[in-house]
Amino acid sequence: MKEKKRLYDLDWFRVIAILAVYLHHIGMPFNGDTFHIMNTDSSKLLDDIMVFFEQFRLPLLFLISGSGTIYAFSKRTWRQFLKERSIRLIIPLIFGVLFIVPPQTYYEHIASYGSYLDVYKSGAFETNHLWFIENLFVYSVILIPLILFLKSPKSDSVMRFLDSISAKKYGILLWVLPLVIITILLKQAYPSDSKAITNLSSTFYYGFFLVAGMLFATSSTSWTHLKAYWKFNAIAFILSTVIFYGYYLLPNAYIAPYLSINARWNVWYLVCELVSWTLITTVLGYGQIWFHKKSRFLQKCNEAIYPFYILHQTIIVILGYYIIQLELPIVAKIAILLITSFPVIILIYRLLIYPFKIPRLLFGMKRK
């Protein structure tokens, strides 16, 4: 496989997507959903905003990871690729499950534990937010045959077909159809929102974006078409957003007499997938115009963002546990959590991870 030229817009979007995950978790204690720590009061407005951003922050991250997989594979054999993925994914995952995640478990069930060590005595080890790393490794292993296929001349006819579709203004928009079909069909058997790899509705949903990223990176013209038609995709995104919120805010009593609960969920999956796909195709095209340049700042951010991701939720839970007990409005608590958690994460990264060889390995960083 010919070595790919680095796309700096993808580096920018990787950083932006993980910062979006961070901001999402900042809001989780206050939106009335379920999280490790929950504020006494919740904000319906915050929940209405967050449900929108849930539709594309992780799909964008998986798509970028799929493209990155192709670029990583272009410089390695499959054995070298598997070794590299094991070092950068499995080691941080094991370390994270043993040392990064347990504080979240402790603060979530603090009334049940006599001390922090009781977390280890109970054997309550979870992946929590590190499910992304776990799933990405599983995808990477399972999809090696697909990557080898894309690497070989056998894929030429398939890629020509996809390129012919994406050459049309509405072509890339049509890619959303298999995503909608996959989601609706699998949700019948796997309705859970669990991110476990065994929950096939979730696994195939995020897997679609990962494979889409691989196909975009393999294609000779798809990136060009994303750039050429970004305005069309932006219009599609705006219309999808209107439809999304129109359906989300529509009182259930208005449509219940006409659609079964199953049909209403299927319509929900449709509008969610439209928002996800049109936003991602828009930013991938727009990024080629404004985010395509290399910079020293981007290099530093791209290096730090993986440790940042591993650390962020634990810091949010620890600090948030004490902040939610303050007698303050929700807005003030969110602001305090934001301005305290971010510098703490950065300080841990700069002082304890970045300078040293072993912490860099444990947090999935490359050697200096």
Question: What stretch of H or E contains 304?
Answer: helix 296-323
Q: pLDDT-based confidence at 159, cuts 50/70/90?
A: very high
Q: What is the structure's pLDDT at 367?
A: 85
**What average pLDDT score do residues 134-149 get?**
95
- Tell whether the model's pLDDT for residue 234 goes beyond 80: yes
Mean pLDDT (the chain) is 93
Query: Looking at residue 5, what is its pLDDT?
Result: 66
Segment (H or E) for 193: none
SS3 192: coil
Segment 185-207, tens digit of pLDDT: 999 999 999 999 999 999 999 99
Structure token pair of residue 97: 């499950």
State the pLDDT confidence band at 35, using cuts at 50, 70 and 90: very high
- The confidence score (pLDDT) of residue 344 equals 98
- Calpha distance 158→330 (Å, rounded): 52
pLDDT of residue 42: 96
> Is 90 exceeded by the pLDDT of residue 21?
yes
DSSP state letters, 243-281: HHHHHHHS-HHHHTTTS-HHHHHHHHHHHHHHHHHHHHH
Say yes or no to pLDDT of 289 above 80: yes
Q: Is the pLDDT assigned to residue 266 strictly greater than 90? A: yes
DSSP class per residue in 324-364: TTSSS-HHHHHHHHHHHHHHHHHHHIIIIITT-HHHHHHTT
- Nearest-angstrom CA–CA distance, 14 and 22: 12
Question: What pLDDT is stored for residue 202 in this prediction?
Answer: 96
pTM above 0.85, yes or no: yes
Cα gap 304→354, rounded to integer Å: 8
Cα first-last separation, the chain: 27
Quick one: pLDDT at residue 4? 58
Residue 368's pLDDT is 78
SS3 307: helix
More confident residue, 336 or 4: 336
- Residue 77: the pLDDT is 87
Q: What is the pLDDT of residues 66-110, one digit of tens each?
A: 999 998 888 888 889 999 999 999 999 999 999 999 999 999 999
Parse the chain into domains and list their residue ranges.
8-362
